[in-house]
A = this chain, B = another copy of it.
């Protein structure tokens, strides 16, 4: 039911994913009346792999996340996460209210032992390397201490090796300089700890302008910084698109050019719009939850479902748990964590 568009986008996307993956079974949780109109023309086999679980209650994007536990236990989101808790479903995919999804995840699935708080991990295009870079946290926890940042490094590393073919993904810390003395005490302490963690391929600090050059497979930062970062890059790309289109109307041969290269331009924005790399994952929970962007269209939401599939195949939560012991011990935490959820 979630996202900017609801069932008109999520249900056809679900059908698309169902057709692409013959081993996939889906529960669609939400208002049956709004869902079934988009389920016309399914083959018998597809119908068998799809089930609608009816509930009318929906958590709006405006709802304060903490209200989910008080008044939204019949909501489609809560019930979906609960299917994972019960073991009925292997993963949950939602385009809804991120804060509520996080809270439902923590409440119902609990974090992996040794993980303090789940993080949200986003996918960035690594244009030079032609691959992807995973950035976390992008909004679950505004401020993080060194111990949490190390947990992010480990979780990002496991997820990256699950979603790509890299055995030892390169992990970097987002900072305001490459020199050792730069950044906050928490970041410097994290750097020291990661250098002492042989299971993590830690490559040092990267700066904001290196986010897209593929230098690192995983980039770690606190949720405040990560959120500003992905929104800023989305904003910069959007502005360029706008200014470019405006510029292309200035002369007749610019307009002609614009028409001739429009397929190229379309590809470009697709390639670079960070928001298009759909399937931000909640990592750190004892269960798989993929958060699709609210403004995702059918392809984007279908991709989010596929992200969930890959994580199920690799059992990412179990792999994170198995590697928890490889982190260097933390001497003492220097920053008190604060959560965006309160």
Per-position 1/0 for A311-342, Cβ under 8 A of B: 00000000000000000000000000010101
Q: How far is the CB of A90 from chain B (nearest CB, A)?
A: 31
**Bound CA–CA A183/B341 (angstroms):** 10
**Option from B183, B209, B338, B340 in Cβ contact (under 8 Å) with A231:** B209
Q: How far is the CB of A121 from chain B (nearest CB, A)?
A: 16
**Option from B182, B242, B338 in Cβ contact (under 8 Å) with A127:** B242
A24 within 8 A of B: no
Chain A residues 266 to 300 lying within 8 A of chain B, measured CB to CB, are 267-268, 271-272
Determine if B224 and A225 form an interchain contact, defined as CB atoms under 8 angstroms apart: yes
Given the interface pairs A260-B253, A268-B247, A338-B184, the reply to whether A208 lies near B234 with Cβ below 8 Å is yes
Contacts of A157 in B (CB 8 A): none
**Bound CA–CA A268/B244 (angstroms):** 7
Measured CB to CB, the nearest residue on chain B to A210 is B235
How many A residues face the partner with a CB closer than 8 A? 59
Determine if B238 and A240 form an interchain contact, defined as CB atoms under 8 angstroms apart: no
Contacts of A256 in B (CB 8 A): 257
Contacts of A184 in B (CB 8 A): 142-143, 224, 338
**Bound CA–CA A209/B275 (angstroms):** 11
How many copies of this chain are found per oligomer? 2
Contacts of A64 in B (CB 8 A): 181
A42 within 8 A of B: no
**Bound CA–CA A285/B225 (angstroms):** 28
**Bound CA–CA A264/B227 (angstroms):** 32
Q: How far is the CB of A117 from chain B (nearest CB, A)?
A: 16
Measured CB to CB, the nearest residue on chain B to A64 is B181
Per-position 1/0 for A191-224, Cβ under 8 A of B: 0000000000000000111111100000001011
Determine if A268 and B243 form an interchain contact, defined as CB atoms under 8 angstroms apart: yes
A236 within 8 A of B: yes
15 inter-chain pairs at a CB distance below 8 angstroms, sorted by A residue, are A128-B239, A128-B242, A176-B340, A184-B338, A208-B230, A208-B231, A211-B236, A224-B225, A229-B232, A236-B272, A240-B272, A243-B272, A247-B264, A250-B264, A254-B260
Taking A183-B224, A184-B224, A208-B233 as given, write out 6 further A-B residue pairs in contact, using a Cβ cutoff of 8 Å, ordered by the A residue number. A209-B238, A211-B236, A228-B228, A229-B229, A233-B235, A247-B268
